[in-house]
């Protein structure tokens, strides 16, 4: 079944690239996403039948992030189905500089989306640090054409920055892998150690100096892909220029993949008795990320970039929870689940707003409640959730992490955490609420006449642009008041492997 999860999207992605049929590819995208989610569900119900080898296997952490990725991709696929149909094949007028450009071919876009799903799946099922490195690099290569879907100079700049920065990061991570191998070279009969089970089995014999150096390199390398500050520079441009469903996948699924690799290496560090070093670095980068996000969200004028900096904030919270340990680990994992759901919802809602108002500027969006009521409710609910208001799941996970800080006597860290969250809460709500409740301006009267025909067709809010978003918001709401036993079991299993509670 695990091999089917990899082969299905990869083979259908290749078929899309060869077929060049836009309509067929759009249907294949949804079918593939549906089949992938069904297989993940079956796998979760029959885990005793899954294979487990030195290279491929599925433990609690892998299953948790595989399930998040598959669910988010299914929602993004449904949204993309309608989005590609609405975009059409004709030249499009740029909403910022008003020049005309053509999008990439739909077959290429869908093919790369399916390759992206296959590579993210490979990250979650890998049991070997070398294979994880290959899979993370493959996510960069498969997602780069998606960011460059709109063929204009801003997209080109964003994808160039994405490839360059992430390639530097992944090169450092490779050096970290080399250092891990060196840390185990003195162990007689062990051979090169990169398989997780072997590393954990020989953890007490690993050279601590080489392992600490390896962890620093891996943290900087994979932390770049995860969007931790100050290595986050690719993230605002890529999230801003990519189509909204791709921004949702980048924020809600790709960042988790990099986090999962760091989680694996952190497990080895704890088993080797070096957990204090990795925990201290996670706390440090978590606080730096929260500080960067708070500063940049205050002055943000572009609502997609605002969501990108919000991703930096939440990656910081996840790193912070992991570094605090204890209940903080459970809070961190639960936060990753909720962040994926809400950020997927918010980015695709931002796509609806851009389609209606033809702008990404916060000040140019007014009266959303009157012009697009369903989108407005989703935008409001998503904003409430992402700033940590009850009863959404993010409130619960942030509270759990705060409780872990107080339990362990980290009062300074708790104070900085609350200060950053307070600043972000005030800044984000001050930007979102006027977009929804201020007096409306008719978007059809305030934009160039050439775009009127297209906006008239988008005036009604189609089901594909609302249903998956509402479903994600509903799930996060439910998780705020009820924890399903299977999810609780997964979180506890991962937390116990890291010495949590």
In tens, the pLDDT along 267-299 reads 999 999 999 999 999 999 999 999 999 999 998
Under the banding of pLDDT at 50, 70 and 90, the label for residue 457 is very low
Q: What is the mean pLDDT of the chain?
A: 90
Q: Report percent pLDDT > 90 for the chain.
A: 69
Number of folded domains that form the chain: 1
Residue 54, domain member (yes or no):
no
As to burial, measured by CB atoms within 10 angstroms (0-12 exposed, 13-18 middle, 19+ buried), residue 19 is middle
Residue 174, domain member (yes or no):
no
At residue 59, the pLDDT reads 87
At residue 471, the pLDDT reads 95
Neighbours of 173 (CB within 10 A): 28
Residue 445, domain member (yes or no):
yes
Residue 409, domain member (yes or no):
yes
In tens, the pLDDT along 114-127 reads: 999 999 999 999 99
In tens, the pLDDT along 21-40 reads: 888 999 999 999 999 999 99
Residue 454, domain member (yes or no):
yes
Q: How far apart are CA 416 and CA 321, in angstroms?
A: 14
Quote the pTM value.
Answer: 0.93
- DSSP symbol at 178: H
Q: Is it the case that residue 67 has pLDDT exceeding 50? A: yes
Among 48-52, 64-68, 256-260, 421-425, the minimum mean pLDDT is found in: 48-52
The arithmetic mean of pLDDT across residues 441-461, rounded, is 51
Residue 428, domain member (yes or no):
yes
Q: How far apart are CA 302 and CA 386, in angstroms?
A: 17
At residue 447, the pLDDT reads 47
In tens, the pLDDT along 124-166 reads: 999 999 999 999 999 999 999 999 988 888 999 999 999 999 9
Instruction: Return the closest-CA partner of residue 341 out of 77, 73, 123.
Output: 73
Q: Are 341 and 476 contacting, i.e. CB atoms less than 8 angstroms apart?
A: yes
At residue 438, the pLDDT reads 87
In tens, the pLDDT along 249-273 reads: 999 999 999 999 999 999 999 999 9
- Of 98 and 311, the structure prediction assigns the larger pLDDT to 311
Q: Are 59 and 125 contacting, i.e. CB atoms less than 8 angstroms apart?
A: no
Q: Are 393 and 337 contacting, i.e. CB atoms less than 8 angstroms apart?
A: yes
DSSP states of 262-306 as a string? HHHHHHHHHHTT-HHHHHHHHHHHHHHHHHHHHHHHHT--BHHHH
In order of 29, 366, 435, the CA distances from 439 in angstroms are: 39, 6, 9
Q: Is it the case that residue 201 has pLDDT exceeding 60? A: yes
Identify the domain containing residue 350 by its residue range: 273-500
Q: How far apart are CA 83 and CA 247, in angstroms?
A: 14
Q: Is it the case that residue 455 has pLDDT exceeding 60? A: no
Q: Are 358 and 447 contacting, i.e. CB atoms less than 8 angstroms apart?
A: yes
Under the banding of pLDDT at 50, 70 and 90, the label for residue 99 is confident
Residue 295, domain member (yes or no):
yes
Q: Is it the case that residue 444 has pLDDT exceeding 80? A: no
Residue 241, domain member (yes or no):
no
């Amino acid at each position: 079944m695990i091999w089917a999860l990899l082969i299905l999207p990869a083979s259908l992605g290749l078929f899309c690239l060869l077929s060049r049929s836009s309509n067929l590819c759009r249907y294949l995208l949804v079918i593939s996403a549906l089949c992938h989610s069904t297989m993940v569900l079956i796998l979760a119900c029959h885990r005793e039948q899954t294979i487990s080898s030195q290279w491929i296997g599925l433990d609690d952490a892998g299953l948790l992030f595989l399930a998040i990725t598959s669910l988010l991709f299914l929602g993004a696929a449904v949204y993309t189905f309608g989005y590609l149909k609405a975009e059409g094949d004709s030249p499009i007028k740029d909403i910022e500089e008003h020049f005309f450009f053509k999008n990439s071919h739909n077959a290429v876009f869908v093919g790369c989306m399916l390759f992206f799903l296959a590579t993210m799946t490979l990250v979650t099922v890998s049991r070997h640090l070398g294979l994880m490195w290959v899979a993370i690099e493959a996510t960069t290569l498969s997602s780069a054409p998606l960011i460059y879907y709109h063929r204009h100079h801003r997209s080109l700049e964003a994808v160039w920055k994405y490839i360059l920065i992430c390639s530097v990061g992944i090169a450092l991570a490779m050096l970290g892998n080399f250092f891990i191998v060196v840390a185990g070279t003195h162990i007689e009969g062990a051979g090169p150690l990169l398989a997780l089970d072997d590393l954990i089995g020989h953890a007490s014999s690993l050279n601590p100096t080489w392992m600490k150096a390896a962890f620093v390199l891996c943290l900087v390398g994979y932390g770049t892909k995860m969007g931790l500050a100050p290595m986050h520079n690719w993230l605002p441009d890529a999230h801003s220029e990519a189509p909204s469903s791709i921004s949702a996948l980048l924020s809600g699924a790709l960042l988790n993949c990099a986090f999962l690799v760091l989680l694996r290496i952190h497990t080895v560090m704890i088993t080797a008795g070096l957990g204090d070093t990795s925990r201290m670095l996670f706390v440090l980068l978590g606080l730096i990320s929260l500080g960067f996000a708070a500063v940049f969200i205050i002055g943000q004028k572009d609502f997609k970039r605002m969501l990108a900096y919000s991703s930096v904030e939440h990656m910081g919270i996840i790193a912070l929870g992991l570094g605090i340990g204890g209940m903080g680990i459970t809070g961190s994992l639960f936060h990753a689940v909720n962040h994926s759901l809400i950020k997927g919802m918010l980015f695709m809602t931002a796509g609806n707003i851009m389609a209606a108002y033809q702008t990404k500027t916060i000040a140019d969006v007014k009266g959303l409640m009157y012009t697009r009521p369903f989108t407005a409710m989703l935008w409001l609910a998503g904003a409430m959730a992402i700033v940590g208001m009850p009863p959404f799941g993010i409130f619960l996970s942030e509270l759990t992490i705060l409780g872990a800080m107080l339990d362990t006597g980290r009062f300074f860290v708790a104070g900085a955490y609350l200060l950053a969250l307070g600043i972000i809460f005030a800044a984000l709500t001050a930007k979102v609420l006027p977009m929804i409740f201020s007096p409306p301006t008719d978007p059809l009267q305030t934009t160039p006449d050439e775009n009127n025909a297209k906006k008239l067709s988008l005036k009604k809010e189609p089901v594909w642009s609302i249903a998956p978003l509402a479903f994600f918001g509903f799930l996060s709401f439910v998780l705020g008041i009820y924890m399903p036993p299977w999810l609780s079991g997964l979180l506890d299993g991962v937390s116990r492997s890291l010495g949590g509670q």
